[in-house]
């Protein structure tokens, strides 16, 4: 076979993202025998992803609003490089139907759901309606017509009941969320939440939802074939959070009863079937620690930051499966049991100072040393002498450990974190050491409200000992 005919059969994947997820998608593209082209901003031209990709294309300046968040630039890059499929990673344009529609008009596949699905679940009000129609358990909620209309807000507060959460309809990553314990707080915080939502997502629509003060955040990994078929790859507990930002994730979620797990999995399967969902996605729930009520939160129609937890627990490659499906191939995923044989735990390592209110800490990394050994996985884009940029998310990498049970996994991860060294910048590694060795975390099943007060108390104790 000639070189030309061989290369003609090799698909091209355009990776429309950066950082550790760009590296992850490039590796998956190579795994399925595809070329990987990376779309980069000017700031990422010398990134690890750019080194690993078969080709790079510069799409704009460092500012994400002028590069990674411009669907027309991504579509242009896909056309320019002859891409067969675009993988958006997470964040940026991963859940924006405009990009998918631009690509579809040019005959380019999108490694994600259909545009109508993205619209149905990207708008939280719409997602709630779909969830109700699918028979899923939902919390009492109501749409905010005008965040400045105080009479309207008071009426909503009385209907939903306090305490309540103010949420951005198009939000994610903890942005646009405020806790309102009473009416006065609701009136004060609603305009703030709307302004933050406009800044982060370009849309200030809000809704309010009944708040459960002692709940766990449990999510279910799904994969749909686009025709109603649904695979359920277990559940993850993501309850160690700071201001709605996940810090630690584990699979399976510890301490769930068989009945609770069944409700989580069956509800997620029903939603995937109702949407005719295509590809990887995550259905997120609250599980109240007192009543054990299961409440649907939202669906993330993309690959999650924490997908390695599920991959290691079930021995699958979800990103490669996304690419295969987008290219019209069999995703090569197995039927799976409800509970994996291993426990997997992940920590997100960020360039932030956990002792200074998690202030971002970009800068030049002199050296990076990761732990090695059985059951250890590292997803990162760091390398020695890398200048960590200030323009984007502060995620540096993810350290994932697999073991035969939860106790062994916690012990192994605590050891792995202690052996990780990222010199030159401040990181959240000390915070993770503290969490992994805390008796509450080791017991399992902490609520989402656990971390903040515990960490604040620890900082006070450290400050006193320094004095």
Query: What average pLDDT does the chain have?
Result: 94
Q: Are 427 and 351 in contact (CB under 8 A)?
A: yes
Clarify whether 364 is annotated catalytic: no
Of 47-56, 85-94, 321-330, 333-342, minimum mean pLDDT range: 333-342
* pLDDT computed for residue 8 by the predictor: 55
Q: Are 14 and 87 in contact (CB under 8 A)?
A: yes
In terms of Cα–Cα distance, which of 99, 58, 107 is closest to 82? Answer: 107
* pLDDT computed for residue 6 by the predictor: 40
Q: Burial of 341 by CB count in 10 Å (0-12 exposed, 13-18 middle, 19+ buried)? A: exposed
* 362-390 average pLDDT score: 97
* pLDDT computed for residue 172 by the predictor: 67
Is the pLDDT confidence value at 429 over 70? yes
* 217-228 average pLDDT score: 97
Is the pLDDT confidence value at 312 over 60? yes
Which CATH number is associated with domain 140-210?
Answer: 3.30.1490.20
Q: Are 461 and 355 in contact (CB under 8 A)?
A: no
Give the chain's end-to-end CA distance (angstroms, integer).
74
Omega within 30 of 0 (cis) for the link into 251? no
Is the pLDDT confidence value at 201 over 90? no
Question: Of these residues, 35, 302, 348, 402, which one is catalytic?
Answer: 302
| Tokens read off for 302 | 């993309």
Is the pLDDT confidence value at 272 over 80? yes
Q: How far apart are CA 96 and CA 263, in angstroms?
A: 29
CB under 8 Å to 121, separation ≥6 — which residues? 113, 127, 130, 275, 298, 299, 301
Confidence tier at 139 by pLDDT (50, 70, 90): confident
| Exposed e or buried b per residue across 350-374, where buried means at least 16 C-beta atoms within 10 angstroms of its C-beta | bbbbbeeebeebbeebeebebbeee
Q: Which CATH class is domain 3-111?
A: alpha beta
Q: How far apart are CA 57 and CA 352, in angstroms?
A: 30
Q: How far is CA 190 from the centre of its chain?
A: 25
Is the pLDDT confidence value at 319 over 50? yes
Which CATH number is associated with domain 215-466?
Answer: 3.30.470.20
CB under 8 Å to 69, separation ≥6 — which residues? 92, 93
* pLDDT computed for residue 56 by the predictor: 98
- Domain boundaries of the chain, sorted by first residue: 3-111, 140-210, 215-466
Omega within 30 of 0 (cis) for the link into 252? yes
């Amino acid at each position: 076979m000639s070189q030309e005919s061989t290369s003609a059969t090799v698909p091209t994947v355009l990776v429309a993202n950066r950082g550790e997820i760009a590296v992850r998608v490039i590796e998956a593209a190579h795994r399925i025998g595809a070329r990987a082209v990376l779309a980069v901003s000017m700031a990422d031209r010398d990134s690890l992803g750019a080194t690993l990709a078969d080709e790079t294309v510069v799409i704009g300046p460092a500012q994400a609003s002028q590069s990674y968040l411009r669907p027309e630039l991504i579509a242009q890059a896909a056309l320019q490089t002859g891409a067969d499929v675009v993988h958006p990673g997470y964040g940026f344009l991963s859940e924006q139907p405009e990009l998918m529609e631009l690509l579809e008009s040019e005959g380019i596949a999108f490694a994600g759901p259909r545009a109508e699905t993205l619209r149905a679940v990207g708008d939280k009000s719409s997602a709630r309606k779909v969830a109700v129609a699918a028979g899923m358990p939902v919390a009492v909620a109501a749409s905010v017509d005008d965040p400045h209309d105080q009479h309207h807000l008071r009426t909503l507060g009385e209907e939903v009941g306090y305490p309540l959460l103010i949420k951005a309809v198009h939000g994610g990553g903890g942005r646009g969320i405020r806790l309102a314990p009473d009416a006065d707080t609701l009136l004060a915080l609603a305009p703030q939440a709307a302004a933050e939502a406009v800044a982060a997502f370009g849309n200030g629509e809000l809704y309010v939802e009944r708040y459960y003060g002692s709940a766990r955040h449990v999510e279910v990994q799904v994969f749909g074939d686009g025709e109603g078929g649904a695979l359920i790859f277990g559940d993850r507990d993501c309850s160690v959070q700071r201001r709605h930002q996940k810090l630690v994730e584990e699979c399976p979620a510890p301490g769930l009863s068989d009945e609770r797990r069944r409700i989580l999995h069956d509800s997620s399967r029903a939603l995937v079937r109702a949407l005719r969902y295509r590809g990887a996605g995550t259905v997120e729930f609250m599980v109240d620690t007192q009543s054990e009520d299961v409440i649907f939160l939202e669906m993330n129609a993309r690959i999650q930051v924490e997908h390695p937890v599920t991959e290691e627990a079930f021995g699958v490659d979800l990103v490669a499966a996304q690419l295969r499906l987008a290219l019209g191939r069999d995703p090569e995923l197995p039927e799976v049991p409800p509970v994996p044989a291993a426990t997997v735990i992940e920590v997100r390592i960020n360039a932030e100072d956990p002792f200074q209110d998690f202030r971002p800490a970009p800068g030049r990394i002199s050296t990076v040393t990761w732990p090695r050994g059985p059951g250890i996985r590292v997803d990162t884009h760091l390398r020695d002498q890398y200048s960590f940029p200030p323009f984007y998310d502060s995620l540096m990498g993810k350290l994932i450990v697999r073991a035969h049970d939860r106790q062994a996994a916690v012990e192994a991860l605590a050891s792995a974190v202690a052996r990780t060294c990222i010199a030159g910048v401040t990181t959240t590694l000390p915070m993770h050491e503290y969490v992994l060795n805390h008796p509450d975390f080791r017991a399992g099943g902490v609520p989402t409200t656990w971390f903040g007060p515990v960490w604040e108390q620890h900082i006070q104790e450290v400050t006193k000992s320094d004095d």
